[in-house]
Amino acid sequence: MLEKSGASEAGPVLILAPTGRDAETARILLERDGIDCQVCPKLQALHSAIRSDTGAVLIADEAFTGADLSSLSKKLAVQPPWSDLPFVVLTRSGAAGRRVVAELHLPAALGNVMFLERPLNAVSLTSAIRTALRARRRQQQVRDYMAESAASAEVLRQLNETLEARVAERTEALRASEAALTQSQKMEAVGRLTGGIAHDFNNLLTAVVGNLELLQLRLADDERALTLAGAAFQAAMRGAKLTTQLLAFSRTQKLALRAIDVNAVLRGTDELLARTVGPLIELRLLADPAVRPAIADANQLELALLNLAINARDAMPEGGRLTITTGRQVIAPDQRGDGKRDISPGRYIVVSVADTGAGMPPEVLARAMEPFFTTKRIGQGTGLGLSQVYGIVRQSGGDVRIESSRGHGTTVRILLPEARRAARPDSSMKIDPASVPGVEQGPLVSVLVIDDDEDVRHIFVAGLEAYGYRVHEAADGPVALHMLERGITVDVAVVDFAMPAINGAALAQAARRLRPGLPIVFASGYADTAAFEAVPGATILRKPFQIAELADAVRRILPISASLNCS
């Protein structure tokens, strides 16, 4: 069986026996044995029937008489390397047959020739043809194998050709993700460093600002000295603004995060932004009415927009267009912030600020959000604008993406987490103490000030006394708790957050256990924001602040706590 199929797979046998019944007889014999046959009437027909899938050729020698074999020879000579088509030549018997064979030089003309002497014998014919077909099948297998290797070689060649490009592509992807990692680690480290420095500076500036305020009170009738103190005060306030930006970048400021309507924030800042960018720049607001509320601090978002508008204005000195758009974006679980920074998968509200200005070359773009990175002249930029935006947005659980290229403008996209709740109108909860009857402040109110920094504490004490409060002071938590246990009168406690023995939040909780509902004002610039949440109703004052603000906070917290106590 195997033999049969192997033979027929090699292809049909071409038969050329122009005289007598030989062709017909051979065809019947072979077909009876399962071998495909094709009878050719003339040499010319045989010549054109020969193809690569021809199995073998059976020719009676009389077909060669007077024939010109040269064109058949030529065709056979240019067979592909694997091919050597087998010929079985039927010869006349005896000396006549041998003479014909010798005269024709058939092996030279046809190549692979086998002779079979007549009379035709069924067994020897089929076995000769089978042998020829088996050899032919082998040749065809070599052909297939060669074709396969050529195909594999081609695949390999193409792989090789693209190898360099693929290695380069992969290397670039690795390099980019490594650079992104380094960048985010750098931002974290710089954030921690600036947070620490800003905290210490806040304390220094609180002392400076407070002392200057007290000095101003005492210098009431010395015009010149007042001017000097005023200038020093202004400089200190500029320093205070810087530390606020640094704290924002280090994500250690207290944010009033709530569900806000970003479109409403945009509408609210519209005028301010238009004034900021000036008449040469066309301001376009494209608010998507379908955006859901975002989780953010409305005031800080306004500040971020303002920073971005100022940057855009600086990038378009000749004028241009500033387009602020709101929209939505979903970050899929496998799509972590364009591979740049970690951002939780989920729904985000996007506020995009696009200008048609100068744009940034790659080396500026790479560093734009670093604190103190600026390309502006001294006095024109401190390099804290984008750092502040970055800090505010990251602290809100979002991300900032910048796309920019030189000459093609800049688009800064702020992603803020989408809120599940409806937006709450901001600031409607504030109570103006002046409007609440029956609340007294001044000598009747006792304030306990707890701060481990002696300079700062003295300023607070002196300042509050200057505003007419009765003030007790403690250098740390344990001392304060001891005073409360002893039963001193305290209406409000002013508590520093970062203190060695026990931090402000823990102290406030302990104090509340001794004095339930005790109004607390946290004086802090550096804070674990979550820690404050544990102290309901507390006010947070960001350092540095003016004594007037402290006095005001103390005054304001009384009615709020009174209303807390009542409920």
Ligand X SMILES: Nc1ncnc2c1ncn2[C@@H]1O[C@H](COP(=O)(O)OP(=O)(O)OP(=O)(O)O)[C@@H](O)[C@H]1O
Polymer length of the chain:
567
Contact between 187 and ligand X (CB under 6 A)?
Answer: no
- Residue closer to Mg ion by CB (options 314, 552) is 314
Contact between 376 and ligand X (CB under 6 A)?
Answer: yes
Interacting span for Mg ion (CB under 5 A) from 204-212, 238-246, 305-313, 434-442 = 305-313
Contact between 311 and ligand X (CB under 6 A)?
Answer: yes
Residue type, 53: D
Smallest distance, Å, CB 304 to ligand X? Answer: 11
264: nearest Cα among 415, 428, 423, 395:
423
- Residue closer to Mg ion by CB (options 351, 419) is 351
Judged by beta carbon distances under 5 to 8 A according to partner kind, the member of Mg ion, ligand X, none in contact with residue 327 is none
Contact between 82 and ligand X (CB under 6 A)?
Answer: no
- Residue closer to Mg ion by CB (options 260, 312) is 312
Instruction: Give the whole-angstrom CA distance, residue 358 versus residue 319.
Output: 11
Alpha helices in 322-410 (DSSP H): 362-367, 385-395
Beta carbons within 8 Å of 472's beta carbon, 6+ residues apart: 446, 447, 448, 449, 483, 488, 490
Residue type, 566: C
Smallest distance, Å, CB 454 to Mg ion? Answer: 37
88: nearest Cα among 29, 143, 17, 25:
17
Contact between 311 and Mg ion (CB under 5 A)?
Answer: yes
Interacting span for Mg ion (CB under 5 A) from 106-114, 385-393, 482-490, 518-526 = 385-393
- Residue closer to ligand X by CB (options 113, 364) is 364
Judged by beta carbon distances under 5 to 8 A according to partner kind, the member of ligand X, Mg ion, none in contact with residue 373 is ligand X
Among 11, 371, 385, 417, indicate the residue that binds Mg ion (CB under 5 A): 385
Among 50, 302, 319, 373, indicate the residue that binds ligand X (CB under 6 A): 373
- Residue closer to ligand X by CB (options 203, 388) is 388
372: left (phi over 0), alpha (psi -120 to 50) or beta: left
| Matching residue, tokens 């193409």 | 158
Among 360, 456, 550, 551, indicate the residue that binds ligand X (CB under 6 A): 360
DSSP output for 456-486: HHHHHHHHHHHTT-EEEEESSHHHHHHHHHT
Contact between 72 and ligand X (CB under 6 A)?
Answer: no
Interacting span for ligand X (CB under 6 A) from 163-171, 326-334, 382-390, 556-564 = 382-390
C-alpha atoms less than 13 angstroms from C-alpha of 425 in its C-beta half-sphere: 3
Counting Cβ atoms within 10 Å, is residue 332 exposed (0-12), middle (13-18) or buried (19+)?
exposed
- Residue closer to ligand X by CB (options 11, 357) is 357
Under 8 Å between Cβ of 285 and 228: no
Contact between 281 and ligand X (CB under 6 A)?
Answer: no
DSSP type of residue 156: H
Smallest distance, Å, CB 195 to ligand X? Answer: 17
Instruction: Give the whole-angstrom CA distance, residue 130 versus residue 124.
Output: 10
Smallest distance, Å, CB 381 to Mg ion? Answer: 6
Contact between 357 and ligand X (CB under 6 A)?
Answer: yes
In terms of DSSP bridges, do strands 320-331 and 281-286 run parallel, antiparallel, or are they unpaired? parallel
Q: Which helix (H) or strand (E) holds 321?
A: strand 320-331
Instruction: Give the whole-angstrom CA distance, residue 203 versus residue 54.
Output: 99
Judged by beta carbon distances under 5 to 8 A according to partner kind, the member of ligand X, Mg ion, none in contact with residue 384 is ligand X
Q: Which of residues 35-64 bind ligand X (CB under 6 A)?
A: none
Contact between 387 and ligand X (CB under 6 A)?
Answer: yes
Smallest distance, Å, CB 263 to Mg ion? Answer: 24
Under 8 Å between Cβ of 203 and 457: no
Under 8 Å between Cβ of 479 and 509: no
Q: Which of residues 390-419 bind Mg ion (CB under 5 A)?
A: none
Among 293, 385, 417, 525, indicate the residue that binds ligand X (CB under 6 A): 385
Contact between 471 and ligand X (CB under 6 A)?
Answer: no
Contact between 263 and Mg ion (CB under 5 A)?
Answer: no
Interacting span for ligand X (CB under 6 A) from 194-202, 289-297, 350-358, 462-470 = 350-358
How many residues bind ligand X, per CB under 6 A? 23
Instruction: Give the whole-angstrom CA distance, residue 563 versus residue 32.
Output: 113
In whole angstroms, how far apart are CA 29 and each of 41, 49, 129?
18, 21, 11
Judged by beta carbon distances under 5 to 8 A according to partner kind, the member of ligand X, Mg ion, none in contact with residue 212 is none
Residue ranges binding Mg ion (CB under 5 A): 311, 385
Residue ranges binding ligand X (CB under 6 A): 307, 311-312, 315, 355, 357-360, 364, 368, 373-376, 381-387, 410
